[in-house]
């Protein structure tokens, strides 16, 4: 089974990928792969996801727009390479970035055919934690034009004001891309384990196969 994890940066995708790796799935951590490629090809001092976050910066900084573009280009290239090397019957987990939903539709469709996409959702309480973590120790967050400061507005205040709108638009895109939505009260619950997540993924895969059989492409 190929499982793809999506959701907002900081929601717990990498932690779940590590848990699934412990259960025997081969992990691909997209942010780590982006960090490595940035370091090798551009000389950026990037080793961890937080290094990439510091490299990218906040959306009100002059460097941000160009580095957002570079980050998305590396993200698309890496995800395409993963798709080239993974078969649908492999046991794999792909820890995708929070911005995966901004990639080319054809690439997303290809990944959607390859993997069962699990959306790890965030409730309002978790939203506040994600914002606090982002401000304290930035992860790479692609704003995709959603940072819209008012004239004369303090940039940091504008970021706090715009962040909920970013979350709202992202949630709609994640739900559209995902095969399974798992609420944060469930995927962060101590009693919810790897077997539970894989069971939900298997159910979604089974439903997709039945739908394909019921409505064959001719």
Which residues, 6+ apart, have CB-to-CB distance to 3 below 8 Å?
A: 20, 25, 92, 93, 94, 115, 116, 118, 197, 198, 201
Give the residue with greater pLDDT, 210 vs 185: 185
Evaluate whether residue 215 is within a structural domain: no
Give the pLDDT confidence of 24-55 residue by residue, as tens digits.
999 999 999 999 999 999 888 889 999 999 99
Residue 209 pLDDT class (50, 70, 90 cuts): low
Evaluate whether residue 218 is within a structural domain: no
Instruction: Please give the average per-residue pLDDT across 166-187, as a whole number.
Output: 94
* Both structure tokens of 29: 């951590």
Residue 208 pLDDT class (50, 70, 90 cuts): low
Q: Is 200 exposed, middle or buried, given 0-12, 13-18 or 19+ CB atoms closer than 10 A? A: buried
Evaluate whether residue 60 is within a structural domain: yes
Instruction: Please give the average per-residue pLDDT across 190-203, as a whole number.
Output: 94
Evaluate whether residue 45 is within a structural domain: yes
Evaluate whether residue 169 is within a structural domain: yes
pTM of the model: 0.90
What pLDDT was estimated at residue 212?
Answer: 46
What pLDDT was estimated at residue 88?
Answer: 85
Give the residue with greater pLDDT, 70 vs 42: 70
What pLDDT was estimated at residue 127?
Answer: 87
What does the alpha-carbon distance between residue 98 and residue 121 come to, in Å, rounded to a whole number? 11
Residue 10 pLDDT class (50, 70, 90 cuts): confident
What pLDDT was estimated at residue 206?
Answer: 64
Instruction: Please give the average per-residue pLDDT across 127-131, as a whole number.
Output: 89
What angle in degrees, to the nearest 10, is found between the helix axes of 64-85 and 49-56?
A: 140
The 10 Å Cβ neighbour count of residue 169 is 14
CATH of the domain at 163: 3.40.50.300
Q: What percentage of residues in the chain have a pLDDT greater than 70?
A: 94
Evaluate whether residue 217 is within a structural domain: no
How high does pLDDT run on average in the chain?
91
Residue 215 has pLDDT above 70, yes or no: no
What does the alpha-carbon distance between residue 216 and residue 91 come to, in Å, rounded to a whole number? 26
Number of separate domains in the chain? 1
What range defines the domain where residue 184 resides? 2-210
Give the pLDDT confidence of 94-119 residue by residue, as tens digits.
999 999 999 999 999 999 999 999 99
What does the alpha-carbon distance between residue 217 and residue 196 come to, in Å, rounded to a whole number? 32
Evaluate whether residue 172 is within a structural domain: yes
Evaluate whether residue 16 is within a structural domain: yes
């Amino acid at each position: 089974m190929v499982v793809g994890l999506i959701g907002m940066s900081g929601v717990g995708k990498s932690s779940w990928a590590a848990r699934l790796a412990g259960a025997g799935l081969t992990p691909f951590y997209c942010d780590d792969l982006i960090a490595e490629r940035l370091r090798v090809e551009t000389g950026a001092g990037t080793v961890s996801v937080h290094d990439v976050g510091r490299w990218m910066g906040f959306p009100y900084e002059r460097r941000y727009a160009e580095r957002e573009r570079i980050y998305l280009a590396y993200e698309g290239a890496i995800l395409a390479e993963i798709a080239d090397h993974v078969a649908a019957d492999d046991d794999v987990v792909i820890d995708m970035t929070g911005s995966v939903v901004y990639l080319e539709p054809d690439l997303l469709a290809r990944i959607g055919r390859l993997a069962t996409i699990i959306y790890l959702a965030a409730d309002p309480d978790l939203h506040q934690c994600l914002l606090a973590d982002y401000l304290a120790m930035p992860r790479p967050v692609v704003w995709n034009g959603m940072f819209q400061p008012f004239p004369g507005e303090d940039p940091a205040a504008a970021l706090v004001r715009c962040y909920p709108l970013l979350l709202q638009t992202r949630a709609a895109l994640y739900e559209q891309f995902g095969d399974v939505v798992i609420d944060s009260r469930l995927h962060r619950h101590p009693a919810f384990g790897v077997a539970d997540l894989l069971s939900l993924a298997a159910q979604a895969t089974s439903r997709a196969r039945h739908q394909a059989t019921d409505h064959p492409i001719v």
